[in-house]
Structure 1
């Protein structure tokens, strides 16, 4: 390649790029500036510089001149003047012209041996024979003793399923008075005017056998305390029982009801469970109910606890836990 073009932000940058493409130096080329470029401004676009470089042709080295003819011998019989020895002439550019001497291989490097350090008449001593290391007899491989048999781990006796302790109702207990006072304080803080009454639990929805008493709240516009699907009512009951458990640990809790919402909800769940149970008896296909709270699932389980044909079990986690009604022996 004798010519190359390149661009850059400046003429110098373009020249460096062109020289790199051509593989030459600045003294070996002729430079032609095609475009000096333009620096961009705030509202104008810049333009790169472009240059072209052309390698300069070097003149060929002149052929070696013939040796000068020998000078004429003097007539007086004197000796001929000695001609100076003509060596190889340096070529153009300071490089020595290639000749036989230049093409000859360099002498191999000098390597010194032990004989170079001996005095005249001395001989190099013979190298001592390498003593062979006695071979060790092979050691018999000891077999690894077998690991002692691990004793069988005794199986843990299965724990009997702990039954929920039965709680006897007591509407006059100190714990019930504390729970009623807590509810009264919460209503006062919320600015809700309502009446509170205490009664014994009657149905599974009231928590019969698991709570001390039922605290009923009555008043106008109490839907805000019930919430969607009773979620606020469940939260209120959880808060009251949490305070009760901290003050009287292990003494039982209470059920909170608002305008008989739990009774109406219990009747709805019992009616739905009966209808779904009859359908399972007719078709033999298990039915999964909608997600329910723990108290609502307990109502369904108690509905079929003594049924000779049907049984129930729960599936799912958290808020998505559901009850499955199936024939006995077919449940998961």
Structure 2
């Protein structure tokens, strides 16, 4: 737990510096979720701040993914250990997690009703994990197939 809290502190310092350089406003929230540190950059109620943070999310979360990797590298540089830290900006991952869980549930319903495997569009590792968890929660199994960046979830009927 202490190691994950330290990762969160290092990540928060790194991200605060990034926000200062980019001249963006945002508050940093740290937490530990399961076996990984979780850091979020959140906007206050000011919608102009929220819109400016969207630049750090990018199209389909591409900039967010890159910033997460840079933040993990900053943590690695300080600790010497690989980090599995998760970064969220302006609630993007939280919203995406809800969307993906619904996609997983619908794919499971389709697989169950048709008796055929359901192949989803390619996803990032984060997205696949959320879908796998949603499928498991409704009692079916799923697997990943293919190679990055075309790796996808396949929901297997019961």
Bigger share in helix: 2
Q: C-alpha distance in 2, partners of 1:298/1:271?
A: 13
- Normalised by the length of structure 1, the TM-score is 0.42
**1:216 matched to which residue of 2?**
41
**1:280 matched to which residue of 2?**
111
Q: CA deviation at 1:174?
A: 2.8
Q: Paired residue for 1:189, among 2, 15, 21?
A: 21
- Contact 2:97/2:130 (8 A) holds in 1: yes
In the alignment, structure 2 segments of 5+ residues that lack a partner are: 44-48
- Contact 1:169/1:212 (8 A) holds in 2: no
Render the CA deviation track for 1:171-204: whole Å, top value 9, x for unaligned.
Answer: 7x33321110100111111222222222343xxx
3-state SS in 2 of match to 1:292 = coil
**2:62 matched to which residue of 1?**
231
In the alignment, structure 1 segments of 5+ residues that lack a partner are: 1-167, 202-208
4+ residue segments displaced more than 4 Å? 168-171
3-state SS in 1 of match to 2:39 = strand
- Normalised by the length of structure 2, the TM-score is 0.85
Q: C-alpha distance in 2, partners of 1:169/1:313?
A: 33
**1:318 matched to which residue of 2?**
148
Matches within 5 A, 1:167-178: 168=1, 173-178=5-10
**1:260 matched to which residue of 2?**
91
- Count of residue correspondences: 152
Q: C-alpha distance in 2, partners of 1:288/1:268?
A: 17
Q: C-alpha distance in 1, partners of 2:75/2:3?
A: 15
